[in-house]
Chains A and B, each alone.
Chain A
Amino acid sequence: MAALTPYTYIQCPCSDSSTLGRSSGPNSPTGSEGDEDDRTFDPRAPRSNYSLYPLEYLLYCEDCHQIRCPRCVSEEIVTYYCPNCLFEVPSSTIKSEGNRCTRSCFQCPICIGPLAVTSVETKPDPGLLAATDNTAAPHSGPYALTCSYCNWSSTEVGIKFDKPNSIHAQLAKLRNGGTTRLTAKERKERRKDPSYRSQAAATTGSEGGAGPGKEEKLDLETQFANLKSFYQRQLADPNSADTGLASLSDLGFSSPTSLSRIMSIYTGGSLQDKKAKSRVGAMREALESDEGLQIADLDESAAIDKLQTDGHDGTASTAQLLDQIPNLGEAHLHGRSRFLSELRPIPYLLRAKRSKRCPVCRHIISKPEAKIQTTRFRIRLVAGSYIPSLAIRPLSLSSASSTSSSGASVPGALLEPLKPTHFLLTFRNPIFDTIKVTLGAPAKTPGRFPSKVTVLCPEFEIDANTDVWDEALKDSGERERERERERRARRGGFEESTTTSSSNNHNNNNNNNAQNQLEVGKIWERGRNWVSIVVEVVPPSLKLGDSTGDGGGVLREDEDVLEIPMFVRVEWESEGGGDEVAVAARDTSGGSKEAREKRELAYWCVLGLGRIRRS
């Protein structure tokens, strides 16, 4: 089984209000819904998955003094850019051109690797020519997009480019197979050309034989344009409007038809009804390709033949098809690309840099640099610099008596059921004020297998996060002395009997003779801006079957993970709105100023301690 490193997730308070509204499903105990304050946060509840975040994911609003998670910030887009060429795309271009890079950035349609523009033309043999000649004319002839990962090349779909730049514009005009796509204007001009007419008739006649061979193959864009102009003509035409309007009910957007509709309303309902009936079917549908008619090509024998030769490997997967962008130059819905050999290069999707705002006070809590090349942030209020971080470490009290190696001494080891295990929680204070931390944890964790939890020291103070050098310079200060005294007191009279040495050798050497320090209400260890406390856990035995209660006799996924919900309340005094450096300076000089403000922050967090051994 995969080892589990201890973790801490913090519940963003934003999810509280949502759970207030309704009961959180069948998992919530029925009696506790009334009093929200008494309810223990259940890390296994289905909702909890969506509100727990590691500390690194969280932001902090300085004005509301509240944690903000990715769910409860409002985002604004700063810039759009292409992840491949790192060019900024103005938002006006996005409105007109879409959210794809319109330069020469493409992805391989098969393996999504980046495509490079290379010359198709075989270069002259380097052995025959001097090197200078090669550099003189490095690239010539047609170009193709090639994937260096899987050797796909756009020549496979018959696409070659004349120029090595502005590939996007060139590709838009090219159909698979290399035939150029005509714009509507060109098409119109071409149709007038008699020589083209005869030629087109000849080709369609030869391949299609009899029947409606006259129809030209329309691509999606032209078909839509033709249909649109045809229907607009129909509606605008006063003669057809007189008859054709009713079938379109209230959709008269050309003025003569609207007028006639209003007139018919005022002239009397019965007459209008009768008229309407006679009008149905009077509006003509498109009859030829000029008007946008496209006969469905139901002959799929070519595709079937291809499938027989290429097999399943030759077809495009769903993911590949989804990556394809709708190509307006495409022939028609019938014969849409289903084979690998028809996939086109994918222009890179643009990305966006976003700034984040607090949804309550609208203050910006995260703002990246607008320049795309830099990854820095102008403003980034990460929660880690405002709320204490929490590190979990298994604590082995392996003195000579308990040699049976309580499994948790190695990080990630399985926890023995029904055996008290100790964990060291280290709170580190990031702010420049002394904070007072109060912890609350349920005596038994929620769930089918409740573990017994005892927080040995649920209330303590952590010193301010002063400058590292401050500490070094006046290390022999009063506080240190006081701490030393405290340490002595903790050891009590056991100083002389220190024969056993603890296995966990911390950087501070004050935790030898660990057995004697496990006292309720005492801090295990403290440093400049951190405090370690001990939590004792008795994991349950994962015996199943005897209780055929909820869920049956199967151990559910991750039910063997020992998770402790813990309510953390942090209190500190800070200057209202003042900057922290000044606060820190004052704090060291004593403290009680009149302008100080009491603040508190409270949240649930979940400590994942490890997996319990299955019996």
Chain B
Amino acid sequence: MSSKRHSILPPVSQSGPKPPVHFSSSITIADSALLIGTNLIVIHSESVIHPRAKLDSLAGRITVGRRCIVHERATLGAVGTSGKITEAAVTLGDYVTVEVGASIEAGETVIGEGTVVGVGARVGAGAVVGKHCTLTPHTEIAAGEVVPDFTVVYSNGMRRTDKRGVAELKNKGQARQIDVLRRMIPSNPAKFA
């Protein structure tokens, strides 16, 4: 039995021109990640981009902070309803996790440090999510909304403030997770350069 898992999906088509990128040397980016668009994509040190994550810089610059994890099929810079072209489409702070299938729309959208964007969540264009927030699976943040720091947003719209004060601990956990992921995901930043 081969240890390698084969995807049943067809290979990702890298259509259109390659976007200009600025990678730190320590990032991990899978071969089958999808980077499209015309503006700059910046990924800071030790961040991990999973296979089939989509970074679309068509509507502006995409910035991924340090030690971020962007999971499979997550979309950064989805051109939403507005379709405006701004200078900075999506900015992720440090230690941000964007989980599977989450979508962050383009248009000056900012995700603060240590925030977890849950599975299938959607962050509208121009929303500003504060630091150390938790967006639980399938939450929707409306366009232009400002979510204060340490907020837990539930998928039914309820909100709560996280008072645990374990941001430090979470960051350490993230660092360890990245250590593991680095061994699991074969990195190929040269493909996008």
Contacts and interface: CB of A to CB of B under 8 A. Distances in A.
Interface of A: 110-111, 122-123, 125-127, 146, 149-153, 155-156, 313, 317, 340
Nearest to A113: B136
Nearest 5 Cβ contacts at the A-B interface: A153-B164, A150-B152, A151-B134, A151-B162, A156-B163
B154 interface: yes
Interface stretch (B25-33, B57-65, B104-112, B168-176): B168-176
B172 A151 contact: no
A146 B173 CA distance: 16
Instruction: Summarize A's interface: helix, strand, loop or mixed.
Output: loop
B114 to A, nearest CB: 11
Interface string B145-171: 000000010100011101110101100
Contacts of B134: 150-151
A172 B128 CA distance: 42
Contacts of B166: 153
Contact of B136 (A146, A150, A155): A150
Contacts of B158: 110, 313, 317
A123 B168 CA distance: 11
B172 A313 contact: no
Given A155-B164, A156-B164, A150 B154 contact: yes
Contact of B172 (A126, A149, A155): A126
A111 B168 CA distance: 24
A340 B166 CA distance: 20
6 contacts: A123-B172, A146-B164, A150-B136, A150-B160, A151-B134, A153-B166
Contacts, number: 35
A126 B163 CA distance: 24
Contact of A111 (B154, B162, B169, B175): B154
A122 B168 contact: yes
Q: Name the residue in B154, B160, B176 with the highest tally of chain A Cβ atoms < 10 Å from its Cβ.
A: B160
A151 B154 contact: no
B152 A151 contact: yes
Contacts of B168: 122
A151 B164 contact: yes
Contacts of A125: 172
Interface string B172-193: 1001100000000000000000
B148 to A, nearest CB: 11
Contacts of A126: 172, 176
B179 to A, nearest CB: 9
B31 to A, nearest CB: 29
Nearest to A310: B161
Instruction: Summarize B's interface: helix, strand, loop or mixed.
Output: mixed
B160 A313 contact: yes
Given A150-B136, A340-B160, A122 B169 contact: yes
A116 to B, nearest CB: 14
Contacts of A149: 136
A426 B164 CA distance: 61
Nearest to A156: B163
A110 B164 contact: no
Contacts of A313: 158-160
B160 A152 contact: yes
Contacts of B159: 313
Given A127-B175, A149-B136, A317-B158, 11 more contacts: A110-B158, A111-B154, A122-B168, A123-B172, A150-B134, A151-B164, A152-B160, A153-B164, A153-B166, A156-B163, A313-B160
A110 B159 CA distance: 10
A569 B122 CA distance: 55
A156 B165 CA distance: 10
A416 to B, nearest CB: 38
Interface string B63-80: 000000000000000000
A149 B160 CA distance: 13
A157 B163 CA distance: 10
Contacts of A122: 168-169
A110 B160 CA distance: 9
Contacts of B160: 110, 150, 152, 313, 340
A122 B163 CA distance: 16
A146 B152 CA distance: 14
Interface in B122-144: 134, 136
Contacts of A340: 160
B180 to A, nearest CB: 12
Nearest to B152: A150
Contacts of A150: 134, 136, 152, 154, 160
B97 to A, nearest CB: 13
A317 B158 CA distance: 10
Contacts of A111: 136, 154
A580 B47 CA distance: 67
A340 B159 CA distance: 11
Contacts of A110: 158, 160
A147 to B, nearest CB: 9
Contacts of A156: 163-164
Q: Name the residue in A149, A155, A317 with the highest tally of chain B Cβ atoms < 10 Å from its Cβ.
A: A149
A150 B160 CA distance: 9
A149 B155 CA distance: 11
A350 B86 CA distance: 55
A110 B156 CA distance: 12
Interface string B33-53: 000000000000000000000
Nearest to A317: B158
Nearest to B153: A150
